[in-house]
């Protein structure tokens, strides 16, 4: 089985070194990211396979389930390995399945869900806590200010942002160091291209969500996959690793076979020309 250590390492916040291939734990919940998984035993097995494969960065959120993803992580992996970094997020609600994710960036809500994540994950301090999305009804600085208070209280080690633009990043940086950005990014969605470059320039980690999208629409992906006898999923994950040293892919799945397919991307070495062709595609 490929090991995540072959992707090299990256520093989160300058003091948390992890292998540069992580895992997103949204899909271990039920249909519609709601309730428990259909097969809890497989979800637990996936999480344990993740760490057996050398993945020591897991991304989750209180809204996944809600609460279910965090609870399963603790059930499967606690007590945690010393090098395991669990990142979670707060600021979105999940009132019912298959519908939108309303934002709630009120300071009192962020405090409540952060403390709930601490309990569910059985942590004394969350290594990386990310503001899930700016709330248009709450001043951005008020939301970040509450995370700064939680950090000062020792409940958060590092602060990250998700679903943000450069204006948000600069506003947050005026209040506290920001160590990571988690935005949607894949071969066919480059809205955050400049944010990837900014992360590289300023030693922030970039966590691409939805890294595997619209694979059937891009002939360049399939041409490269055929050349390497690889799957399209493996090609786009290998491209992310080659796109920037600040990139920390976090592909997620609740299925063991899909996890193994994702891990096989670690053995796929794209040429610089292939990486460039996908970047231009």
In a domain, 64, yes or no: yes
Pairing relationship of beta strands 85-90 and 57-59 according to DSSP bridges: parallel
The answer to whether residue 236 sits within a structural domain is: no
Q: Confirm whether 207 is domain-assigned.
A: yes
- How many whole angstroms separate alpha carbon 269 and alpha carbon 272? 9
Q: Is 64 a catalytic residue?
A: yes
Contact 87, 55 (CB under 8 A): no
**Total domains, the chain:** 1
- Predicted confidence band of residue 1 (pLDDT cuts 50, 70, 90): confident
Catalytic residue among 64, 78, 80, 185: 64
Residue 235 lies in a domain: no
Sign of the alpha-carbon dihedral angle for 152, 156, 161, 166: positive
User: Do residues 99 and 39 touch, judged by C-beta distance below 8 A?
Assistant: no
The distance of Cα 232 from the centroid of its chain, to the nearest Å, equals 20
Structural domain contains residue 219: no
Percentage of residues of the chain with pLDDT beyond 70: 100
Quick check: is 266 in a domain? no
Per the domain annotation, does 224 fall within a domain? Answer: no
Phi-psi map region of 88: left, alpha, beta (phi>0 left; psi -120 to 50 alpha)? beta
**Over the stretch 102-131, which tens digit does the pLDDT of each residue have?**
999 999 999 999 999 999 999 999 999 999
Helix (H, G, I), strand (E, B) or coil at 60: coil
Residue 165: inside a domain? yes
**DSSP letters spanning 214-268:** -GGG-HHHHHHHHHHT--HHHHHHHHHHHH-TTB----B-S-HHHHHHHHGGGG-
CATH code of the domain containing 86? 3.20.20.100
Tokens coding 40: 């809890």
pLDDT in tens, 68-93: 999 999 999 999 999 999 999 999 99
Domain that residue 109 falls in: 4-214+244-253
């Amino acid at each position: 089985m490929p090991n995540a250590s072959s992707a090299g390492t990256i520093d989160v916040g300058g003091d948390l070194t992890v292998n540069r291939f992580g895992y997103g734990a949204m899909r271990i919940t039920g249909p519609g990211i709601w309730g428990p998984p259909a097969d809890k035993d497989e979800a637990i097995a996936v999480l344990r396979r993740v760490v057996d494969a050398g993945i020591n960065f897991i991304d989750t959120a209180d809204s996944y389930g809600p609460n279910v993803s965090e609870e399963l992580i603790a059930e499967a992996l606690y007590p945690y390995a010393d090098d395991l970094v669990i990142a979670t997020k707060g600021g979105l609600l999940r009132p019912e399945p298959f519908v939108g994710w309303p934002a709630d960036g009120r300071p009192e809500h962020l405090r409540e869900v952060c403390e709930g994540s601490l309990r569910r994950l059985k942590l004394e301090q969350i290594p990386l806590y990310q503001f899930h999305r700016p709330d248009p009804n709450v001043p951005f600085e008020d939301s970040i200010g509450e995370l700064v208070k939680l950090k000062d209280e020792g409940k958060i080690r590092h602060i990250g942002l998700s679903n943000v633009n450069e204006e948000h990043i600069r506003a947050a940086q005026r209040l506290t160091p920001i160590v990571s950005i988690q935005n949607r990014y894949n071969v066919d969605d480059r809205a955050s291209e400049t944010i990837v470059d900014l992360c590289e320039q300023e030693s922030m980690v970039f966590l691409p969500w939805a890294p595997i999208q619209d694979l059937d629409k891009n002939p360049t992906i399939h041409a490269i996959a055929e050349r390497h006898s690889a799957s399209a999923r493996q090609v786009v994950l290998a491209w992310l690793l080659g796109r920037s040293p600040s990139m920390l892919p976090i592909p997620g799945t609740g299925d063991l076979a899909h996890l193994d397919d994702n891990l096989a991307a670690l053995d796929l070495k794209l040429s610089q020309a292939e990486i460039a062709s996908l970047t231009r595609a």
